[in-house]
Structure 1
Amino acid sequence: MTAFVPPSAEQAATWRLALRFALRELRGGLRGFYIFIACIALGVAAISGVTSVSRSMTEGIASEGQTILGGDLSFRLVHREADTAERAHIDSLGETSRVATLRAMARKPDGSDQALVELKAVDGAYPLYGSFAIEGGGDLAAKLATGPDGIAGAVADASLLGRLGLAVGDTVALGRATVRITGIIASEPDKLSEGIEFGPRLMLSDTALPATGLVQPGSLVNWSYRVRLPEGTSDEDTRARMDEAREKFPDAGWRVQSRANSAPGLQRNISRFSQFLSLVGLTALVVGGVGVANAVRSFLETKREVIASFKCLGATGNLVFSIYLIQVMLIAAIGIGIGLVIGAALPFVAGAALAGVLPIQLALSIYPFELGLGLLYGLLTALAFALWPLGRAHDIPPTALFRDQVDARRSAPRKRYLVATAVAAASLAAIAIFLAQDKRIALIYVGAAAGSFLLLIGVARAIMALARRAPVVRSTALRLAIANIHRPGALTPSVVLSLGLGLTLLVALALIDGNLRRELTSTIAQKAPSFFFIDIQSAERDAFEVLLKQEAGDATIQSVPMLRGRLTKVNGVPSDQVKVSSDAAWVLRGDRGITYDSKMPANSKLVQGSWWGEGYSGEPLVSFDEELATGLGLKIGDTVSVNVLGREITARLANTRTVEWESLAINFVMVFSPNTFAGAPHAHLMTVTWDPDVGAERELSLLKTVSTSFPTVTSIRVKDALTQVNSIVEQLALAIRSASSITLIASVLVLAGALAAGNRSRIYDAVILKTLGATRGRLIFAYALEYALLGLATALFALMAGATAAWFVITNVMGGSFVLLPATAIGAVLGALVLTVGFGLIGTWRVLGKKPAPVLRNL
C-alpha cells in the first residue's frame, strides 16, 4: 500500500512513527545522558548569560547616559577654555555646567609627603544630572565654599586621605594654594566619563582653581561643558545640535558627545570582553560536543539489540536514524533549556554582585535575542556532534549489530550525514564570525579552535599508531597500558579531544598573562624612566632642569615640548569618515600627545622617507609611527590635519619610523617639524632615568624636592604607575582565566563521560584478567600508566599549541617579546596528569570491584 502513498506523506508517517518510538523509549529515563545534558547546558548558559549580561550593561549605560556624561551634550576642549563665541553658543543650547580636569600633586602642608591626584574643578551648576554624595551627607556647594580663613574647601576620595595620613578638616597644598578637606566622596555620578585614573579624586570649586596656578598656557587641562537640553528633546534633535556646533565652529577642535554615546570606551571594552567570553562559551560547547558524540555512541551501543530487532522487523535505516535523532534532540533540548534558564538569570545575579562596584545600574531584563543565540548554538552543536554516530547506525546490518562491536566503530556514515555534519559545524563558525564585533579576531579564534580540534584528532591517531608500533616491553603493566591506548574502542581519542582544547586555551591565556607581567615588571621596569614630569612651563623649564641636575646628576634627563591635539583629517577626509584598520582606529579617538623636534627621537628607527634638517622652514612636515601610518593608509607625501588650541594645522608626511614603545621613553605617534608650532603656547615634558639599582628612598627624596620647589609641576613616579597597571592586568587576567575555566569544566565533564562510557569494556577486561590471575593492584597500576601516558601526551600538545597561540598574540597583536614560562608548562602537565589519572582511577576502582561470576555468565 505504501506504493500509493506520496513520498512526502510517507516521510511524514515515518517521522510520526519515529516520534512515537522515541517518546516510548525515553520513558526509561535519561541514564547515560547526564554528561550530554551538562555539556550542552554549560555552553548554552555561558553564551546566553555572557551576551545577556553584556546587553544589560550596555543598555544600563545608555539609559543613564545623561548621568554618566553629566548632560545631554558635552563639549570637550584640551589646553584651552571655550572662547566668547563658543561659550555663547553652548549657553544658548540650555543650562550649562563647566568642569575642568587635570592631574596635579597634593602635598602635606609640611612637605613631608605628596600624592598624584585627579583634580576636578566644578561650578555651581554641577551636577546637571545624577546626585553627588558625600559620606555623612552634606551639600557639595557648601563643602567647596571658601571658609572664613580664606581657605577653599575640597572633597576627596578616602584613598587620598589614607595615602597621606589626613583626616577631614586637615589642609593640603595644591599647586600654589592650600585647600581644606571638608568631606569624603561617596559617589560621583559622571565618574565613568572621565576615563582612566592614575590617582585618587580631589574636587574643588572652579573659583578656587586659578589660585593654584595649575592652569597656564599649554597646561594639560581638559575643559568640559555639559548642557542640559530642554525637556523632551529627541535624540535626532540632539544630533542636529551636535552637527550645528561642528559646522558653526569647524576649527574649535572640541570633542562633542551626546547622552547616546556617554562612555564609548567602556562600551567598546564591554563588547570586546563579551565577544571573547562568547567565543570561550562556543569553545566550551565544541568541547562539550565531544561529550555529545561519546554519549550518543555509548547510547547506541546499549541499543544494539533494540536496533537489530527494529531492522529484523523491517524498519528502514531512515526510521532508525529518525528515532534516535529525535531522542537525542529532545535530550539536547533539556540541556538547552537548563542553560537558557541559567543564562536568563545571570544578568540579575551580576546586577546584585556588581551593585557596589559599578557606578551604574544594569538594565535587568530577559533578552530574547541573546537567549535565542544560545538556543541556536546549542542546537547546532548537538546536531554537529550527533549526526556522525547516528548516521553510522543507518547502514549497519542486523547481523553486525548482534555479532560485532569492533567493525561497527570503524564504519563511516553515508555522505549525506557527513555533509549535514559539515553544514552544522560551518553554521556554528559562520554565526560566531558574523555576529562578532571584531570579525578578524573572531575568524582567527574560530580558525584556531577548528584547527586545534582537527589537529587533536590527528594527535590521537598518532598516539595510537605509535603505541601500536611500540616495541614489546617486559613490564606486564606497561605492556597492558600501551595495548589499551591503541586497541579498538580505546579511550585515546576521547581523552585527547576532551582535555586538549580546554588545556590549550588555558595554557595560551596563562602564557599571555605571564608575558605581560614579565614585560611590566622586568623589561619595561628596567628600561622605563624613573619619573615623568609634565606641565613644566617654558619660563620654568631651565630652572627645573638645573634642579634635576643638582638632585639627580647621575641620571639621564630628557626634555621635549608637549602639546595635545586631535587628528581631524587624513588626506583631507574628516577623521570620522576615514576607513582604517581596527588596530589603528584608536588614534582617531580623542586627543593625542604631539611634539616637535629637529632630530629624530633616540628610540626610533627610520623606515621610509627622510628626516628634516636643522633649521627647516618650509611647509609643516610630520613623522608618523610606521604601523599606525599603514593602518591609516598613509604614504609618504600624504597629509594629516590636527587641531591644536583651536587651530587646524595640516602637515605633509615626511617619513615613518618604528617606535620602541615598551621602553616608555619619550616618544609620540606624531612628531612635527619645529616650524609647525612656532609661537604656540605649550608646556614641556621631562623624564629622569636612573639606574635600576637606585633605591626608593632617593626617588622619593627627589619627588619631595620637586613638589616643594615647583608646586605646579605634576610628577609621575613610573614604579607607582606600573604597580597600578600590573594590578589592573592581574585582575583582568584573573577574570579572563576564571571565565575561560568554563572550557576546562566542559573538558572534565567530557573526560568523566568518556571514562564512564568505557566502563563496559573495562569490566570485561578486568574480569578476564582477574580470572587469569591478575591482582587488583597490578591492574590499577596498568590503568594508571595508561591514563598518565594519555595525560602527558595531551599536556605536551596543549603546551605546544597554547604556546604557539600565545606567541602569535604577544608578538603579532601586542608587538611584544615572547618567552616560554617553565611554571606554566609544568602546571599544564601536572593538571592534565591529575585529571586523567584521577578520574581514570576513580572509575577504574569501581570497575575492578565487579564480581567475575555475574559477568562471566553473560559472556
Structure 2
Amino acid sequence: MSMAAEPASGGRAASLALRYALRELRSGLRGFYVFIACIALGVMAIAGVGSVAASLGEGLAREGRTLLGGDVAFSLIQREAKPEEVAFLRSRGEVSVAATLRGMARSGDGRLALVEMKAVDRNYPMLGELALDPKMPVADLLAERQDTAGPAFGAAADSTLLARLDLKVGDRISIGSATFQIRSVVGAEPDKLAGGVGLGPRFLVSEAGLRATELLQPGSLVRWIYRVRLPDNAADDRAATALANDARSALPEAGWEIRSRGNASPQLERTINRFTQFLTLVGLAALLVGGVGVANAVKSHIDRRRDVIAAFKALGATGRAVFTIYLTQVVVLATIGSAIGLAAGAALPFVIVGVFGKLLPLPVVPALHPDELALSLVYGLLTALAFGLWPLGRVHDVPVAALFREAVTSEWHRPRWRYLALMAVVIALLVGVAIGLAYDKRVATVFVASSVLVFALLRGIAAGLMALARRLPRSRITMLRLAIANIYRPGALTPSVVMSLGLGLAVLVTITQIDGNLRRQFLAALPERAPSFYFIDIPTNEADRFGAFLKQTAPQSTVEDVPMLRGRIVAARGVKAENLKPSSDTEWVLQSDRGLTYTGELPKGSKVVEGEWWGAGYDGPPLVSVEKKIADGLKLKIGDEIVVNVLGRDIPARIGNMRTVDWQGLGINFVLVFSPNAFRGAPHTHVATLTEAHPDSAGDARIIKSVADAFPMVTSVRVREALETIGTVVTNLVLAIRGASAVTLISAILVLGGALAAGHRHRVYDAVILKTLGATRARLLGAYALEYLLIGLATAVFGVIAGSIAAWLIVTRLMTLSFIWQAGSAAGVVVAALVVTVGLGLAGTLLALNQKPATVLRNL
C-alpha cells in the first residue's frame, strides 16, 4: 500500500487520489450532510434565479414583436406625428396608431375614478390577441352608436374600474365631454408590458372617442405611438433596426422614442436584470454562509481521520499526496451538492409555469439553460474550495505520532504558504466571477467588499468574545462560571456559532429593515406636509382661474402651480445621447421623455450647490439648472450645453447652476429646470399640487368632484392612491427578496446545527466527567443554555448593527428614500436568533447528557 512507491506523475496521481478518496467515502457521508445541504441550497438559489431570468428573457425576446405591437414603435409625447412623418412610416409597412392619456371617469351617480385611457385604431392589435369578455371585433366594440339614451362611443374597461364605480357591462360613463358605453371587460392586452405601470385601470376607446373628450389640448400629456409591422417576408431584427436607423436619418428632429422588436420594453429588461443580480447576490450570500458549514465539516472530518492520515504517512505517503486525497473528497462532495442544487434550480421555471402559468403577467418560457447552470456549478465548487482549503491545508503537517497521541492533545497550525496561495487564487476567481459577470459591477463590488468586511468582523467578534470571557473574574455561580469557561476553552463552539449565524442574521435584518421602510414610504403615513393631490393637464389659459378655484374650494390648503412640458435629452456637452456613458444610476434620465419646466424663482425643495440662480428678471440666452447627482452621472459641469427635443424641436441651453432636490417631500420638482425664456411660445400645460392642512376621505372626494365638475379636462391624481399602486409592486418584489433571503437563513441554521453536531463528542466528554464529579442534569443544562444565550446575543447584536447599516445605505443611497430604523423587526430578529441558538444547542446537549457514563469512561 506504499504510496511513496507510486510517484506523483500527473494523471496517475490524480487517479490514485480519486481511488483512495472514494474508498474513504464508502463508509458513508456522516458529517457531510450539512456540507452537501449548504452547497445545494446556495447553488439552487443561484441556478433558480438565473434559470427563471433566462426563461423570462427568452420569452421577452420571442414575444418581443407581440409585446411591442409591431416590428418598430415610434412614440411622441404631447404631439401627433406630422403628415410627412406618418407617410414615411406607411411607406415601410402597415401602421397602427394608439394614444394613451390619463383622465377622470364619471359614473351616472357622480362617482369619479382616475383611468388610463388608451385610444386605438381599427388595426389594433396587429399582433397578438386582445382578451375581451364578451368577445367582439374591435371595430364593433369601439364604434359610436345611437340608442334611446343618446349617442355614445363604445369602450372596454378593466374589471377594477367596474368594481370601483359599481358598474356592469352596458352602463355608461363620461370622460371630459364624451360619453362612453362599456361594452366589454378588457383582460390581457398583448402590448401591455411595453407600456409600464399605470396609476389607474385601463379604459380602451377609439381615437374618435378620445378626440370627443376634448382632453387633447395643446401641451396635454398624451403619448402617441405609431407601430409599424413590416412585411412578413422582411420582418426580422435586422430589418427593424434598419427602419429605426432610416427614420433617425430621414427625420432627425422628429424627437420620437424608437423601440424595435429586440427591445420591446427596455425598462422592464433593465429592471429584470437588476433584480436578477440582486437575487443572485442573495443566493451567493447563502453560499457564503454555507461556506462556513463547509469549513466546519472539513475540519471535523479531518479531526476524525487523523489516525488514518497518520497511517497513510507511516506507509510512505507524502503530505502533498494526502492533501490531494482529501481535496478530491471535497470536490466530489461539492459536486454532489451542486448537482442537487442544479436539478432543483433548473426545475424552478417549469414549476413556476406549471403552477402559476395562467396568473403570470410575464412571458416565461421554461427551458434548460446550460450557461446559467454551469455558472451556478462554478459558484458552488469555488465556494467549497475557498472555505475548505484552510482546514485541508493542515492535513499536510499531521504527524505520524498522531497514531500514538490522543486527538485532544493535538495542535493546529497555519497551513503552508503553497496552500494559502492556492486558497487566494480560488478566492480571486470567485470574486472575479461575481463581479465580472454582474449586470451592475459597482453593486457587485460593494457586495464582495461588504462580505469580506463582515467575515473579518465576525471573526474579530468571536475572538473578542473569547478574550473577554477569558478575562472576566471567576463567578461564584457555578452555572455562570461553567458557561463563561465554555466560551473560550479549547475547541469552543464560539467561532463556529458566530460565523454561521452572524452573516445570516445580517442579511435577514437588511431585508426586514428595507421591507419596513418601503412599506412605510409607500403604504403608511405620507411625509409631513406632502401634497394630497396632483392636478395635471391644466390648460395654460386656465391656470390662474384653476388656482383661484382650488383656494376657494379648500381655503386652508396650500396650492403650488408650475408650467410643464415633456422633452428628451438628445445631446449633452456636444455628445449625442446614445453615445454618452452615464453612470448606472443616472442612465434612466436618457431613456425616455422627462418632465421639464421653466421659472424665474428657485423651485421649492431645491438648493443651488454650484453656480448661481438666474433670477426672476433674466432675459438672456437660455439656461438650465440640473440636479446635482444627474449632472455628476453625466459628467456635466457649469457652462456645458444640453440639447432637449420638445415637440419636435431641438432646444439648446447652457448649464447655469446645479441643485440638490428633496424628492422625498413629493412636491413638484424636476431634474431639468430652464430659464423663463427657454420655451417661449411653446404650447404646454400646467401641473399643480394641493396640500391640505387636515386631509380626510370626505374632503378628498369633495375636492375631486368639484374639480371634475368645473374643469373636466383636468386630471386629478390622489397621492395616496398613487403610492398604494406603487406599493403593491414594491410588495411583490419584497416577497421575492424574502424568499431568496430565507435560503440564506436556512443555510445559517444548517451550519449552526452542523457546528453543534461537530462539537457533540466534546460535549459528551464534558457532560460525563462533570456528572461523574457530581454535577446535576439541571445545572449542566442551565450552564449550556447560558453559554448559547451569551454567544447568540453577541451574534444577534452584530447582525442587527451590520444589517441596519447595510439597509440604511441601500435605502438612502441607492433608493434615495428616507430611512427610519425599525426597532420591532430588529427585536424580532434578536429573539429568533436566541431561540434558534439556544434551542439547537440544548437539543444537542440533551443527547450528550443521555450518554451512559460507563460507556464513555471505558473508551477514554
Deviation of the 1:302 alpha carbon: 1.7
Deviations 1:504-552 (A, max 9, x none): 0111222222233334466743231111110011232233222212111
Change in Cα spacing, 1:232 to 1:489, as seen in structure 2 (3 Å) is farther
Kindly report structure 1 stretches of 4+ aligned residues shifted beyond 6 Å.
2-7
Equivalent residues of 1:401, 1:408 under 8 A apart: no
Deviations 1:707-741 (A, max 9, x none): 12211110001121122223333332232122111
Deviations 1:323-372 (A, max 9, x none): 22222211221111111111111111122244233334322211111010
**SS state of the match for residue 528, structure 2?**
helix
Q: Which moved more, 1:788-797 or 1:315-324?
A: 315-324
Distance 2:740 2:134 in 1: 38
**SS state of the match for residue 207, structure 1?**
helix
Equivalent residues of 1:527, 1:664 under 8 A apart: no
Deviations 1:208-233 (A, max 9, x none): 11111111110000000011101132
Change in Cα spacing, 1:353 to 1:570, as seen in structure 2 (3 Å) is farther
The answer on 1:413 being equivalent to 2:415 is yes
Deviation of the 1:43 alpha carbon: 0.8
The answer on 1:51 being equivalent to 2:53 is no
Aligned to 2:851: 850
Correspondence for 1:120 among 118, 124, 138: 118
2:22 alignment partner AA: L
Equivalent residues of 1:98, 1:224 under 8 A apart: yes
**SS state of the match for residue 387, structure 1?**
helix
Aligned to 1:138: 136
**SS state of the match for residue 826, structure 2?**
helix
2:814 alignment partner AA: V
Q: Which moved more, 1:826-835 or 1:125-134?
A: 826-835
Distance 2:813 2:460 in 1: 27
Equivalent residues of 2:7, 2:13 under 8 A apart: no
Equivalent residues of 1:75, 1:256 under 8 A apart: yes
Aligned to 1:294: 296
Distance 1:119 1:584 in 2: 30
Deviations 1:627-684 (A, max 9, x none): 1111111111110000111111001111111111111111111111111111111111
Distance 1:613 1:780 in 2: 76
Q: Which moved more, 1:697-706 or 1:343-352?
A: 343-352
Distance 1:409 1:777 in 2: 33
Deviations 1:803-842 (A, max 9, x none): 2212222333333443322112211211210110011111
The answer on 1:697 being equivalent to 2:695 is no
Aligned to 2:576: 574
Distance 1:243 1:667 in 2: 34
Q: How does 1:480-629 map to 2 (within 5 A)?
A: 480-520=482-522, 524-629=526-631
Aligned to 1:107: 106
The answer on 1:399 being equivalent to 2:401 is yes
Q: Which moved more, 1:503-512 or 1:812-821?
A: 812-821
Aligned to 1:256: 258
Equivalent residues of 2:3, 2:315 under 8 A apart: no
Aligned to 1:266: 268
Correspondence for 2:249 among 234, 247, 250: 247
Equivalent residues of 1:71, 1:227 under 8 A apart: yes
Aligned to 1:90: 89
Equivalent residues of 2:48, 2:344 under 8 A apart: yes
**SS state of the match for residue 569, structure 2?**
strand
**SS state of the match for residue 820, structure 1?**
coil
Q: Which moved more, 1:406-415 or 1:391-400?
A: 406-415
Distance 1:756 1:8 in 2: 37
Correspondence for 2:390 among 388, 391, 397: 388
Change in Cα spacing, 1:445 to 1:4, as seen in structure 2 (3 Å) is closer
Q: How does 1:143-542 map to 2 (within 5 A)?
A: 143-149=141-147, 150-233=151-234, 234-400=236-402, 402-406=404-408, 408-520=410-522, 524-542=526-544
Distance 2:184 2:671 in 1: 41
Deviation of the 1:241 alpha carbon: 1.1
2:185 alignment partner AA: I
Equivalent residues of 2:598, 2:676 under 8 A apart: yes
Deviations 1:569-609 (A, max 9, x none): 10221101011111211111100000111111122111111
Equivalent residues of 2:4, 2:316 under 8 A apart: no
Aligned to 2:61: 62
Deviation of the 1:160 alpha carbon: 0.3
Deviations 1:282-323 (A, max 9, x none): 111111111111111111222122222222222221222122
Q: Which moved more, 1:478-487 or 1:406-415?
A: 406-415
Q: How does 1:666-681 map to 2 (within 5 A)?
A: 666-681=668-683
Distance 1:247 1:799 in 2: 57
Give TM-score, length-normalised by structure 2: 0.97
1:248 alignment partner AA: A
Distance 2:599 2:854 in 1: 91
Equivalent residues of 1:506, 1:740 under 8 A apart: yes
Equivalent residues of 1:77, 1:254 under 8 A apart: yes
Equivalent residues of 1:524, 1:662 under 8 A apart: no
2:574 alignment partner AA: G
Deviation of the 1:146 alpha carbon: 1.6
Distance 1:557 1:516 in 2: 28
Equivalent residues of 1:307, 1:320 under 8 A apart: yes
2:100 alignment partner AA: T
Equivalent residues of 1:433, 1:442 under 8 A apart: yes
In angstroms, what is the RMSD of aligned CA positions? Answer: 1.8
Equivalent residues of 1:70, 1:129 under 8 A apart: yes
**SS state of the match for residue 333, structure 1?**
helix
Percent of aligned positions with the same letter in both sequences?
A: 55
Distance 1:142 1:519 in 2: 44
Deviation of the 1:435 alpha carbon: 0.3
The answer on 1:686 being equivalent to 2:688 is yes
**SS state of the match for residue 637, structure 2?**
coil
1:769 alignment partner AA: L
Which structure 1 residue ranges, 5 or more long, are not aligned? none
Equivalent residues of 1:396, 1:408 under 8 A apart: no
Equivalent residues of 2:4, 2:317 under 8 A apart: no
Distance 1:378 1:36 in 2: 11
Equivalent residues of 1:406, 1:488 under 8 A apart: no
Distance 1:804 1:409 in 2: 38
1:781 alignment partner AA: G
Aligned to 1:637: 639
Deviations 1:743-799 (A, max 9, x none): 111101100111111111111111111111112111111111111111100001111
Distance 2:183 2:673 in 1: 44
1:826 alignment partner AA: A
Aligned to 2:837: 836
Distance 2:403 2:52 in 1: 48
Q: Which moved more, 1:359-368 or 1:619-628?
A: 359-368
1:825 alignment partner AA: A
Distance 1:439 1:14 in 2: 40
Which structure 2 residue ranges, 5 or more long, are not aligned? none
